[in-house]
Amino acid sequence: MSGLSLVLSGAACLWAQNVCAQDERPTKQEVAEIIHRVNRYWQTNNPSHGNFFWNRAVYHIGNVDAYKATGDCGYLDFSTAWSELNLWKGAKSDDKSKWKYTYGESDEYVLFGDCQVCFQVYSDLYKVIPEDVRIARMREVMEYQITTPVVDYWWWVDGLFMAMPIMTRLYSITGNEQLLEKMHEYWEYSNSIMYDYDEDLYYRDARYVYPEHQTYSGKKDFWARGDGWIFAAFARVLADLPKDDAYREEYITFYKDMAKSLAKSQQSEGYWTRSILDPDYAPGYETSGTALFAFGYLWGINNGILDESEYGETARRAWKYLSETALHENGRVGYIQPIGDKADPNQTIGENSTADFGVGAYLMATSEMLKYAQGEMPLLDLRITSLKRTDEGQIYVTFNDTLDAQTASDISCYTIDDKPMTGSVEFDGVRSVVLTPDFQLTGGKHIFAASGIKGDNGQIAGEGCTGTIIYTIDLTPCNPDVTVKAIGNQEGNTPENTIDNNLDTRWSQAGLNQWIRYDLGEVRNVRAVDVAFYLGSQRKSYFDIMLSVDGKEYTTVLAGCESCGTTDQLERFSFDVQPARYVMLNCNGNSQGGDNWNSITELRVSWENEMLDMIKVPGEVYTHIVLPEQDGKGRPISWKSSAPEILSADGLVNNHEIPIEVVLTADCADEHKEYNVTVMPRYPEKCVVASYEFEADDVYDAGHEERCLVDRSGKGRDARIMGQAVIDGKLNLTANTPDGFWTNGYLILPQGLLDSLRSYTVVAVVNPSSLDVQPRLYDFGSSSGNSVFLRLSECAAGMKYNAGTTTLVMSSEQPQIGRDQLMAVTYDAVTHQTCVYIDGKLTASENTIVNEPRSLTFISPDSRNYVGRSQWWDSNVARDNLDFCGTIDDFKIFSIALTEKEIGDMYNGTVGINDVDGMTDGSIALENTVVSKGEPLRLSAVGLSSVPCRVSVFSMQGTLVSESNVQSLPCSIEQSLPSGCYVVSVAAEGTGIVASQKFIVK
């Protein structure tokens, strides 16, 4: 054969190999699709940006590479937002004397490479928009570092990737030659402690050098990701290093030597095991090291430094592993070894093992593969990269490419929740529009879409051009009827923390299929669940929502839920309204993986009338009530009454002789609820707010040297006994002196006494020893500028509201020193009439006080409710408004304005002052309030056994059903009423006593 024939045959063979290699390359269409799939999956599931540290910074290196390769500006926006969040800095200490380069994550580790790698991203973004702020910290740190005599900055192989490319990038911007000199010095030091010249590979650090460290089989242990860092670092350094740099060829030699060594240890499926030379030491797939190697090979081939004929097959095999084995269909990258420092044989890596830095390395390799791939670059698909809403209701939308002005400004191109957007749109001329809807969006998740909009390159937004807007829900107190249980919890992080109205506490439980269940107390028409997650602005949480009526059979109403990952506030998850008593979340971890922690800070179940259900209106009322003007979310409530002459829409009561049913209707936003209320006949004994009889047995020790006095009303308003007050059948304050501020005796009644007090009566038996300097019997409120009181000398009932002018109702008579006398003050919320009585005699009556007692609490809580002391007492003014000196007995407060006759009867003894507390002489009671049809009613009485009575039975609407006369009590009244609710009224002849009571026929 001739020499010419041999040459032609060799050329033909080389041509055939190149054609074969070209045919084996993926297409740019295929590679671009993978870049977008991987990166959009990561960004969708990790929308919060995290800190500057190496692991997140490496992701952004890959993300910026993806932007450069594809031109997708959404990727650029994502890394810019991360950089801005971190203020274009790494570790933030400004005290150079404390800067360190050993391992550490706090602010003084400024010279540690893991805290510097972020500068690579900042410098790339500087080259896009050259703003000085983007590299100011980078220059400050690196230009300081190169002035130090230290050379051992890069004491671990990772550091070579983290920091070497920073120095070449900064050189390319500033031209400072010292950066390149120092880089070479630092690299030479690293070689001296980590490089194995026999194997042409790097140990992770000096701890792993052979033979001091070796694998189980006695081999050298080179960590794949560690060598991946330096192999990729060579490529990134050479990309910016000048062609005439004195050390360029030295770097290339090491780079090529590594390439040759690594190619020998690649596994047949294209990956490298964690221990490069001993596959059995830590066997199995691993993606982060393989991706870094793939990047290093592809960059070298694409830039003519590595021979494609020698290493093309190595790169393609690595790509086959990355694109077929490591990659999930949804874009998740698996088999990434977690953060570590070695080939750990005790560590299990699976298909779902992922991490930010591993995705970054994957994107670096894929971006280089896009350059290596064959075919034409595909047209970039138009997509939404950012959706933001303002408090004013505007929606800011940013796309990943420049837009056509005409279509971008067309409101008909936008929809929300599959409905046409209406309102206005403004286009910024580049990639963003501002939409101002002419309607209000409610809380929850809303799907925004754009279609028909053209990009600058001719592409048209299609079905996939969508985004989600999250309108968070305001946190309000949980309905007190709701209770919670869970399958288990981390110590201290209990399920009850999710209903404590505190976003700083949480329930936490690790693992999949971990449930937490809420009992609503009764069956409700449930429509949504609002959930706030721990670290909710940093990761997504996964869960299902299930409902049950009986707590046994559950129906899944929302499967595969995921939180948005951008907020720590309540997110709403809505579904069709359906009845349920039990709401369960089946939780399945979060997007950061690990131990799959499930952590909820607060959860609210939303049902029809959920806020109005929290408003408790009493079923029976005897006096005025408070109807709230707003719900728990601050929305106004509109009230209506079916019988405003009996119970008004603002809660004012007009008692009649028989119980009367009234329906109160509340409307608030989209909620509507009716409350059935029975307005009962006038019963002062049902309106006792607090009652103190001052018996010695009523005193108890509350601990911490605090004495308390029992409230005999049963309402639990026990009073604190202060100073030298003596309880000896009366409240004895006779030892009080003009100068005894610190020792004088008095009572403090509990805070909250005035919260719902509208009309009132205060009555007591008073015996003053002295009436000097206007002592006060009682003074309730928060301060001298905000209280309601009775002054004994120059006797007057008064109120001072919100530091305004004091309003007084002056008595025409004065109490006397040295004898018991019945003092009473009444206030009527309907007429605003204030009355003062002394010994049953009306001595003052004015309607000049217009504010109800409860209004004082609008200004400040009633923390100073004094009996026997004035709000004006000031230790610096020894004789101004003295404490009361004398005795007080039978002190009572009613939530009703007693009439002049009732006050007179108290004084005259017809009704004793204590008779209002229950069954007393001259009272009537129904013994069986729930009866069966045909079962007689049993009536009893005290002190009325021989008095004839008329017994009447009424329906709840006031219709007379039956009437009979009885000669004496107790007695039985026959009845054959149908099931329902009724009222029996008994009138004792010649006594004026009328008693009514509700009963039920089953």
Q: How far apart are CA 893 and CA 752, in angstroms?
A: 13
Q: Which amino acid is at 621?
A: V
> Residue 967 burial by CB count (10 A; 0-12/13-18/19+): exposed, middle or buried?
exposed
Q: Tokens in use for 634? A: 């601050």
Neighbours of 803 (CB within 10 A): 10
Q: Tokens in use for 425? A: 């749109």
Q: Measuring CA to CA, which residue among 323, 315, 328 is closest to residue 363? A: 323
Q: How far apart are CA 962 and CA 978, in angstroms?
A: 13
Q: Measuring CA to CA, which residue among 362, 580, 613 is closest to residue 479? A: 613
Q: Measuring CA to CA, which residue among 94, 101, 93, 188 is closest to residue 145? A: 101
Q: How far apart are CA 105 and CA 254, in angstroms?
A: 31
Q: Measuring CA to CA, which residue among 597, 873, 840, 884 is closest to residue 735? A: 884
Structure-token match 């020998």, residue found: 264
Q: How far apart are CA 604 and CA 602, in angstroms?
A: 7
Is 530 one of the catalytic residues? no
Q: How far apart are CA 883 and CA 737, in angstroms?
A: 8
Q: Which residues contact 671 (CB under 8 A, 6 or more apart)?
A: 608, 609, 610, 611, 612, 631
Strand partners, 414: 450
Q: How far apart are CA 142 and CA 132, in angstroms?
A: 15
Longest dimension (CA), the chain: 147
Return the SS3 of 686.
helix
Q: Tokens in use for 506? A: 């949480």
Q: Measuring CA to CA, which residue among 261, 273, 326, 269 is closest to residue 297? A: 261
Structure-token match 């050189």, residue found: 171
Q: How far apart are CA 707 and CA 143, in angstroms?
A: 71
CB 720 within 8 A of CB 708: yes
Half-sphere exposure of 735 (CA within 13 A, CB side): 13
DSSP secondary structure code for residue 325 in this structure: I
Q: Are strands 466-471 and 432-437 parallel, antiparallel or unpaired?
A: unpaired
Structure-token match 């983290």, residue found: 162
Q: How far apart are CA 236 and CA 713, in angstroms?
A: 83
CB 123 within 8 A of CB 135: yes
CB 606 within 8 A of CB 526: yes
Rg of the Cα trace of the chain? 42
Q: How far apart are CA 232 and CA 311, in angstroms?
A: 15
Q: Please spell the DSSP secondary structure of 65-133, one letter per residue.
A: HHHHHH--HHHHHHHHHHHHHTTT-SS----GGG---SS--STT-TTSGGGTTHHHHHHHHHHHS--TH
Q: Which of 65, 114, 158, 356 is catalytic?
A: 158
Please give the span between the terminal C-alpha atoms of the chain, in angstroms, as a whole number: 118
Q: Tokens in use for 349? A: 């890596």
Return the SS3 of 259.
helix
Q: Torsion angle of alpha carbons 339, 341, 345, 347, nearest 10°? A: -20
DSSP secondary structure code for residue 323 in this structure: I
Cis peptide before 738 (omega within 30 of 0): no
CA 453 vs. chain centroid, Å, equals: 37
Q: Catalytic positions, please?
A: 158
